[in-house]
Amino acid sequence: MIERWSRDQVLALAPDASSQKAAQGVSTPAKWSSRGTTGTVLYGECKGSGAKPYLACVDLTEPAYRCSCPSRKFPCKHALGLLLMWSADGVPEAAAVPPWVAEWVEGRAVRAAKAAAKLEAAREQAAQATSGELGGSISAEPGAASGELGAAEGAGAAVLGEPGVGSAQPGGPASGAAGSEGPGAAVGQSGGATTGELGAAGAAKGRVDGGAESVRHARVATGLAELERWLADQVRQGLAGAAEHDWDGLAKRLIDAQAPGVAGVVSRLAQVRSEEHWPGRLLEEYALINLLAVAYRRRAELPAPLAQTVLIRAGFPVTREEVLIRPVVRDQWDVLGRRDDVQDRLTARRVWLRGRRTGRAALVLSFAPLGQPLDASLVTGTTIDADLTFYPGAAPLRALVAARHGAVSPDELVAEQPPTSPEAASPGNPRVPPGMTPDEALDEVAGALADDPWTDSWPLVLSGVVPGSATLGGLPLHPKARDPWRLIAVSGGHPVTVAVEWTPQGLRPLTTWDEEGTAVIL
């Protein structure tokens, strides 16, 4: 039995504000000729403009969605309306589902089983390989195996500074996303789905592309050498002369040098220039960019995980297939929150998770062009039992959902990362993720920065903190964070548990939990 979501959690799944409004318009029983739930599946028939009603259903275990309406928004208003009724206990229990729902659910199960078998075979093949690790690690030397960036992936790397990005389309292979298969078609793919031959294809591509990578390393080295000289000139001449056209030109030259990751960072310097207290921020960014250029030049001297981090941040990709055959980390993962960023007609969605047993932080990242649906399979405030595979690096954070293992009931929730001080104790509700004190949180962030100095965000759960207008537990809030009035209202002046995204400029509150353990999205 899936624990019922709150109204906030359902509306947060909507792709835009108009979808939220439309969903509320169809969330009354009078709009539905039939509806029901088995505890894990919702279904209903909603009256539309045509003679036949729209058939909508939701697999709550993923979640995944299906609707026969022609809407290109995802999830559509009918699926959201059905979820809103369910959240308000307005969907009656049903012993069985209609045949059209059963067919969809069975089809998803078959596809998931095939994908899991294919992925397991790829892992076994990788384990038996004698030519080194086929899990996608990037060598610090030329000739390393690496795939080509896809169209949206390359755009994401260049624009958003996230080299080696994952699926550009929700519902894509092995993304854990719930995607759309076209109007009226079944929607949603299993979190373990994958396409193509894994492992062997990656290894063969690495051997074929070895010579090409040697050429690319030479080009990147030339581009970053120019970058070092440019940065030295900027510091020598002073920051006041910094102009947007200078950064644009440099970013284009770095793209030509096949270093899209660095180009993405440089292209965002104009945003820094427009901020308050920009001189200090700009100098910080210059220092980090210079550090990356120097690290690339001296990568042979670095530990292997750090060298991998340097190459990934420079723009050398790791393919999804390579990541999926890496070792899995199974845990109960709390979905802490998400943030969408839009730049140059591309939307990046960051979903933050933390494991209850391992205490590990994770980031599930997806991209989509404007107007296209994003991954809606991770519901803020829920806990999933899943296998995650992490991208390589010195401080692994980005991950893929390789497989899910069913729903997690409140009785099954664990908290095996006990706080080290009474102040960090949670309210005792199993639905509230285990947290830490601000001091413990800063220690964790310091460790991540020591391993990867280019880390610019990290998910944390703070327990026993009292929010203020500009601080949380004594730590400053991000200048662009939303007004924390809602967080203050939930707190009422008392300590609460809050999931936040740490950034160098301050904390971004994501989610808090009320006295009953209900997630409140901030």
CA-to-CA distance for 154 and 171, rounded, in angstroms?
Answer: 19
Tokens of 504: 């160098």
Q: Are 269 and 254 in contact (CB under 8 A)?
A: no
Using CA of residue 423, residue 429, residue 435, residue 438, what is the dihedral sign?
A: negative
pLDDT tens across the length of the chain (522 residues): 678 899 999 999 998 889 999 999 999 999 999 999 998 899 999 988 778 899 999 999 888 999 999 988 889 999 999 999 999 999 999 888 999 999 999 999 899 888 888 888 888 888 777 455 444 444 444 333 333 333 334 434 433 444 333 333 333 333 333 333 333 333 333 333 333 444 444 444 444 345 666 899 999 999 999 999 999 998 888 887 777 778 888 999 999 999 999 999 998 888 888 888 888 889 999 999 999 999 999 999 999 999 999 999 999 989 999 999 999 999 999 999 999 988 777 888 999 999 999 999 999 999 888 878 888 889 999 999 999 999 999 999 999 999 998 778 777 887 544 444 444 444 468 889 999 999 999 999 999 999 999 999 999 999 999 999 899 999 999 988 877 889 999 999 999 999 999 999 999 999 999 988 899 998
Q: Are 507 and 457 in contact (CB under 8 A)?
A: no
CA-to-CA distance for 432 and 354, rounded, in angstroms?
Answer: 12
Tell me how far apart the 2 most distant CA atoms of the chain are, in Å.
75
For position 155, what pLDDT does the model report? Answer: 38
Global model pTM greater than 0.85: no
Tokens of 405: 């293992």
Residue 34 phi, psi dihedral angles, 5° rounding: -155, 155
CA-to-CA distance for 208 and 114, rounded, in angstroms?
Answer: 29
In Å, how far from its chain's centre is CA 10?
18
From the number of C-beta atoms within 10 Å of its C-beta (0-12, 13-18, 19+), residue 67 rates as: buried
Place of tokens 């109960």: 332
Ramachandran assignment for 492, one of left (phi > 0), alpha (psi -120 to 50 degrees), beta (any other): left
Taking alpha carbons only, the member of 303, 274, 300, 272 closest to residue 285 is 272
Q: Are 306 and 451 in contact (CB under 8 A)?
A: yes
How many other CB atoms sit within 10 Å of the CB of residue 347? 20
CA-to-CA distance for 278 and 268, rounded, in angstroms?
Answer: 13
Q: How far is CA 140 from CA 6, 81, 309, 498, in A?
A: 47, 51, 10, 39
CA-to-CA distance for 199 and 214, rounded, in angstroms?
Answer: 22
Tokens of 350: 């960051």
CA-to-CA distance for 119 and 141, rounded, in angstroms?
Answer: 28
In Å, how far from its chain's centre is CA 385?
17
- What are the extents of the domains in the chain? 7-97, 415-522
Q: Which residues pair with 67 in a beta bridge?
A: 56
CA-to-CA distance for 200 and 473, rounded, in angstroms?
Answer: 50
Tokens of 126: 């990788």
Taking alpha carbons only, the member of 481, 318, 489 closest to residue 393 is 318
